[in-house]
Amino acid sequence: MSLDETNLSAQMQSLSPCEKKNCPTDEQSNDQKLKYYGKDRTHTLQTVGESRILQQPSESVIEEEENSSASEYGENGDQPIYRQETDLTLTSNNQTNVTQNSCEARKISEDKTPFPVQCTTQQNEATIEEVQEFMDLYTSALIIGRSDYLKSKENELQELLTTPSGRTAFVNALEQESRRTQGLVDLQALPKLLDQISLLLVECQNAEDFAPAKKLLTISLQFYAYDPSVSTDRTFIFTYIKSQPIWQSLRFWNACFFQSLQEARSKAEESSHDSTKLSSSITYDQLKSYLHTMNVFNLHETIKHEFLRKQADLFNLNDDEISSLLSIISSAD
């Protein structure tokens, strides 16, 4: 299930009342304005409200990510900025050569020893199938809170989450568990689950590997905890991870948006002949979905306005479309 297929705003009615509290406010300069460029027009935004603000991003964050806007991929969004696994790991041939060279060096240095050196060629990296099998077992134990097993596998999990294949396998396994358990998380298992999700998101941000984080965002709307002694409402996992730094990154939202846009266009073009009108409609619908998501995650309005400004400029949105999208931002509670 992709991000755009999930009605995030609909989940808000299931949240406990305490969620809408404890959102610190940050003040924004009254003369701060953002402009939306389209067909020879300029929209000036009013001062952003002080409520609904989780975290005020610094000017350096916005400025730093200005050069990484969605426009660098072109209108067709050729490649999202996901770190490729081939950039981070040696190929099996390279690993074999390294192992062989190491063995030869040992033989030369130890040729005077009475025992021959036993050296075999092996691949140090676990295969994708092995990684996925490990994650399937680990997440199954994670959801039900098998603390002894989790503790014994802690180091291995942390090491795998530093790799692209490990991060992808982890979120895939969580998605399978959400279906198997209908999303219910044992209350005793909740703290450990949140710890490992936080670790994953940190690794995703450090490696700029945004695909697993995008998928986890959707999964977080499926897992929930339920404590009848406290409330009759379900508390979904995304309410606990709103403060994660990766959500404050425009690079993350731009990359995810283009990925969703590519997927939606690919599906729609198979059944439509009017590609121009179709492309414009898909872009607008995707922007609506993403702005609703940003509202649910209580992002600062500066980030939402900057995100919209970039897309409005790139896709040449008309006045009515921009006004409608701005109303979504202002509707956040």
Q: What is the pLDDT of residue 77?
A: 45
Spatial CB neighbours of 302, under 8 Å, sequence gap ≥ 6: 28, 32, 48, 56, 57, 62
CB proximity list for 47: less than 8 A, separation 6 or greater: 28, 29, 30, 32
For residue 14, what pLDDT is reported? 45
Q: Are 323 and 44 contacting, i.e. CB atoms less than 8 angstroms apart?
A: no
CA angle 165, 202, 253 (to 5 degrees): 90
Q: Which residues of the chain fall below pLDDT 50?
A: 6-33, 39-55, 61, 68-123
pLDDT at 35: 54
Angstrom distance (rounded) from CA 46 to CA 284? 22
The residues near 221 (Cβ < 8 Å, ≥ 6 apart) are 6, 8, 11, 236, 237, 238
Quote the DSSP letter at residue 236. Answer: E
Determine the pLDDT at residue 286: 96
In 10 A of CB 5, how many CB atoms? 11
pLDDT at 227: 87
